[in-house]
């Protein structure tokens, strides 16, 4: 049994069609189907009922689903804990960051800090917002870098986990261009013909922000896909599958190349912060020095 089979199972349970699940998992549909069949052979029973309208979980699949979530969480925590033990002697600063910021904002931000601060060895952990919250709460890292909006809830008490803004961002509705260069899926849509919506899953911090701040009454949309990865939604939007609210820091290059265009005007934008949270229970001299520097920079700004 392979870990990828379990992730495939969850993707198919969420997407409900083999084609969409295979695309989310970045494998061909035949290979994806073989892996699902291999998992069912390993379990010893059918987990999905196949039909013309897609797939649904069998009673056995429904029973299996929470166990899969627990297995993946347990394995990923064991891997993080083991890495943390291995890195503890060498890492000066440990930072958790959401996927959306790890690959775009973080490299340039940390490079700028290193021009003025001696940060030592860094240990970066990239994961969903839900997982990053748990990592910070359990004292595994000094800092968490994430998108934030005051109306969207977090699990952090201000007394234990102070925070400060380090930059700004904006969630912009984007979609693929039409052959004429206009939006393929222009907002707001209509009740008779709702637009396909590419949304974030519950594990995503951006999903929480949109749920708290987005005025869905201004649009007519039907959910076509959910994922906790902004990169996945961006790929699906680029390929013409619908409208996604993407961080400007993530989608700017695709916009510049004309692969993504605005689906609507600025009234549909959601301004957000990029915020750094710190743990007062997991700290060292380097973490204290970085926090002091960032606090002074925030005050002077």
What domains can you pick out in the chain, each with its CATH number? 3-73 (1.10.10.10), 75-168+273-300 (3.40.190.10), 169-272 (3.40.190.10)
How do residues 38-89 score in pLDDT, each as one tens digit? 999 999 999 999 988 889 999 999 999 999 999 988 888 888 777 666 555 4
Distances (CA, A) of 181 to 25, 104, 197, 255, 257: 29, 26, 20, 12, 12
Looking at residue 232, its pLDDT comes to 94
Cβ pair 236, 174 in contact under 8 A: no
For residues 214 and 218, give the distance between their C-alpha atoms in angstroms, rounded to a whole number. Answer: 9
How do residues 251-297 score in pLDDT, each as one tens digit? 999 999 999 999 999 999 999 999 999 998 888 888 888 999 899 87
Q: Examine the pLDDT at 301 and tell me if it is beyond 60.
A: no
How do residues 244-256 score in pLDDT, each as one tens digit? 999 999 999 999 9
How do residues 155-210 score in pLDDT, each as one tens digit? 888 888 999 999 999 999 999 999 999 999 999 999 999 999 999 988 899 999 99
Distances (CA, A) of 250 to 90, 109, 292: 31, 14, 28
Mean pLDDT (the chain) is 90
């Amino acid at each position: 049994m392979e870990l990828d089979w379990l992730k495939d199972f969850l993707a198919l349970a969420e997407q409900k069609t083999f084609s969409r699940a295979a695309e989310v998992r970045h494998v061909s549909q035949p290979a994806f189907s073989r892996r699902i069949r291999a998992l069912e052979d390993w379990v010893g029973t059918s987990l999905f009922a196949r039909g013309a309208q897609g797939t649904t979980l069998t009673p056995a699949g429904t029973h299996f689903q929470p166990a899969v979530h627990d297995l993946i969480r347990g394995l990923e925590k064991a891997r993080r804990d083991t890495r943390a033990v291995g890195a503890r002697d060498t890492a000066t600063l440990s930072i958790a960051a959401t996927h959306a910021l790890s690959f775009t904002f973080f490299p340039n931000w940390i490079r700028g800090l290193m021009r003025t601060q001696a940060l030592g060895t860094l240990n970066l952990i990239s994961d969903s917002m839900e997982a990053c919250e748990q990592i910070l709460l359990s004292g595994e890292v000094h800092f968490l870098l994430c998108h934030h909006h005051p109306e969207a809830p977090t699990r952090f008490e201000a007394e234990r986990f102070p925070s400060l803004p380090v930059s700004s961002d904006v969630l912009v509705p984007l979609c693929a261009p039409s052959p004429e260069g206009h939006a393929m899926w222009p907002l707001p849509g209509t009740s008779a013909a709702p637009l396909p919506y590419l949304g974030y899953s519950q594990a995503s911090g951006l999903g929480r922000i949109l749920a708290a701040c987005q005025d869905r009454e201004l649009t007519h949309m039907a959910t076509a896909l959910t994922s906790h990865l902004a990169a996945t939604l961006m790929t699906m939007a680029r390929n013409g599958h619908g409208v996604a609210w993407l961080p400007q820091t993530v989608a700017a290059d695709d916009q510049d190349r004309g692969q993504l265009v605005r689906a609507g005007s600025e009234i549909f934008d959601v301004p957000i912060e990029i915020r750094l949270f710190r743990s007062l229970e997991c700290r060292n001299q380097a973490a204290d020095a970085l926090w002091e520097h960032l606090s002074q920079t925030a005050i002077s700004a």
